[in-house]
Amino acid sequence: MAVIDSGIHAAHPHILGIAGGVSIADDGEPTGDTTDRIGHGTAVAAAIREKAVDVELYAVKIFGQTLSATGGRVARAIRLAADAGAQVINLSLGTKRQEHAALFTDALNDATVQGACLVAAEQSDGTSWLPGSLPGVIPVRLDWDCPRQGYRLLETAEGLRVLAAGYPRPIPGVPPEANLSGISFAVANVSGWVARVREAWPGACVEEVMAVLARHSGTSLAPAARPQPASPR
């Protein structure tokens, strides 16, 4: 599982180690500094780990001091994640700049050829995001009424969308309203379930993953009891 974000604090008690990682410098070249200095990527990774306890986390750092990056850096990150062998790529970010559509489509196609599933924000507050709204992505929407240990599927004219809560893993003593929240964590929660599906069916394509999720929609999936779906084929 690759987490494209601000890095991951590997020693955090909600993480307890990562399988590796890479950082993308301003010039687009990879470096080894995956330290998370703003906390967002660590919180995203913790939400994923909560749902998929055995997942191997791979940090792809594109954010430094702020949560902003160029389209080219995001596309480069997608390719590096796929090159590293990630079966699932979590992208808790997006842009509404449609001029990036071709750039992201090319990166997504390259990742798909290598067997990666991209999970990303498709829409929030009426805004469509890239690359989450592109065909071939597992598209996520925010649902504040959805329990954190569940999700639901929404049938739209464009196909199924996965809806999930926008809350990260709780921090003892910190009320939810004082913690991070938003579409980033809806994506992370869905990525955890997608990771579990691909653990059971490593070769499952996006359509097959969505079919398995649809069969378990609305259920509470405890981390210690992974679903045992019938073959999606």
The rounded distance, in Å, linking the Cα atoms of 138 and 90 is: 10
Rama region for 71: left / alpha / beta (φ>0; ψ in -120 to 50; rest): alpha
pLDDT of residue 14: 93
From 34-38, 120-124, 215-219, the region with the lowest mean pLDDT? 215-219
pLDDT of residue 231: 37
pLDDT class of 219 with cuts at 50, 70, 90: low
pLDDT(220) > 50:
no
Name the residue among 217, 199, 232 with its Cα closest to residue 87. 199
Q: Where in the sequence is the domain holding 28, given as residue range(s)? A: 2-215
The rounded distance, in Å, linking the Cα atoms of 106 and 62 is: 19
On whether residue 176 sits in a domain, the answer given is yes
Three-state secondary-structure class, residue 54: coil
Task: Work out the end-to-end distance of the chain between its first and last CA atoms, rounded to an integer number of angstroms.
Answer: 23
On whether residue 220 sits in a domain, the answer given is no
On whether residue 228 sits in a domain, the answer given is no
The rounded distance, in Å, linking the Cα atoms of 13 and 53 is: 13
- Position 110, amino acid: D
On whether residue 223 sits in a domain, the answer given is no
In total, how many domains does the chain have? 1
pLDDT(157) > 70:
yes
CATH of the domain at 13: 3.40.50.200
**Residue labelled with tokens 């430094």:** 64
| DSSP assignments along 144-158, one per residue | TTS-TT--EEEEETT
- Position 71, amino acid: G
Q: Which residue has the higher pLDDT, 182 or 29?
A: 182
Q: Find the mean pLDDT for residues 227-232.
A: 38
pLDDT of residue 27: 72
On whether residue 227 sits in a domain, the answer given is no
pLDDT of residue 218: 62
pLDDT(112) > 90:
yes
pLDDT of residue 177: 79
On whether residue 232 sits in a domain, the answer given is no
